[in-house]
Amino acid sequence: MKRVLDTDIYALTDAGLSRGRSVIEVADAMLRAGIRVLQYREKERKAGVMLDECLQLRRMTREAGCTFIVNDHVDIALLVDADGVHVGQEDLPVEAVRQLVGPDRIIGLSTHSPEQCRDAIARGADYIGVGPIFATKTKKDVCAPVGLEYLDYVVQNHDIPHVAIGGIKLHNAGEVVRRGARCCALVSEIVGAEDIGDMVARLRRAMAV
Ligand code: 3NM
């Protein structure tokens, strides 16, 4: 059975924001903090390096019982036997990704509007990213913040699992959860924290609404 986002925090890697720590070190701290979904999202890596890191992360996440998702690279997701792949609006359509990964792997799709949400459901995505909720510098090519209004639309109209993303921090994570988000994805707030374990614990307290 596919396990799709049955968790509070969705963590992503970003070596450039990790205070000089390696992706593996950061992921290790996340897993020790009890993170249950981890996405490998590295934009400036050679394919061979991505493959090596993903092989290591696959071993670590499997041992920890953590769902492992690879961003964009369907080939790497398949090579390392990831649980799923996350794609954006400019990537291969969900139906094509499904043909490659089969029925049992998770496909996540970033969406930024009600129309894209409905389209993702029609195409058979397993979950959607909903964002950017707030302004973010982490994703370079992302549209202006969609605010909490788009999250409200998803929460009030659709059952598809969703993950709120974009500019979510310790100070606003509680608000996002109170608006009905089932799961929050955070990049800079977690990978950039000096003490990742402490940050995850504080986020959990802030999100326990
Ligand atoms: N996707 P931070 S926003 C990877 O809206 C990503 O689809 C987004 O980083 C979307 O938590 C985003 O540092 C970046 O703001 C989120």
Question: Which DSSP state fits 34?
Answer: T
Place of tokens 């450039």: 16
Domains present along the chain, CATH in parentheses: 9-207 (3.20.20.70)
pLDDT at 119 over 90: yes
Q: Which helix (H) or strand (E) holds 107?
A: strand 106-111
Can you give the pLDDT at residue 6?
A: 67
In this prediction, residue 143 has a pLDDT band, given cuts at 50, 70 and 90, of: confident
Q: Please give the Cα distance from 72 to 128 (Å, whole number).
A: 14
Question: What per-residue confidence (pLDDT) applies to 183?
Answer: 94
Give the residues surrounding ligand 1 with Cβ less than 6 Å away: 110, 129, 131-132, 136, 138-139, 142, 165-168, 186-189
Tell me which residue of 205, 155, 199 sits closest to 11, measured CA to CA: 199
Task: Work out the number of other CB atoms within 10 angstroms of the CB of residue 106.
Answer: 23
Is 39 annotated to bind a ligand? Reply is yes
Residue 1 confidence (pLDDT) = 56
Q: Rounded to the nearest whole angstrom, what is the distance from the C-alpha of residue 57 to the centroid of ligand 1?
A: 21
| Cα–Cα nearest to 128, from 102, 157, 103 | 157
Compute the average pLDDT of residues 32-45. Answer: 96
The residue ranges of DSSP E strands in 16-95, in sequence order, are 37-40, 67-71, 84-87
The model's pTM is 0.96
In tens, the pLDDT along 68-109 reads 999 999 999 999 999 999 999 999 999 999 999 999 999 999
| End-to-end Cα spacing for the chain | 29
Q: Using the mean position of ligand 1's atoms as its centre, give its distance from the Cα of residue 167 in Å.
A: 7
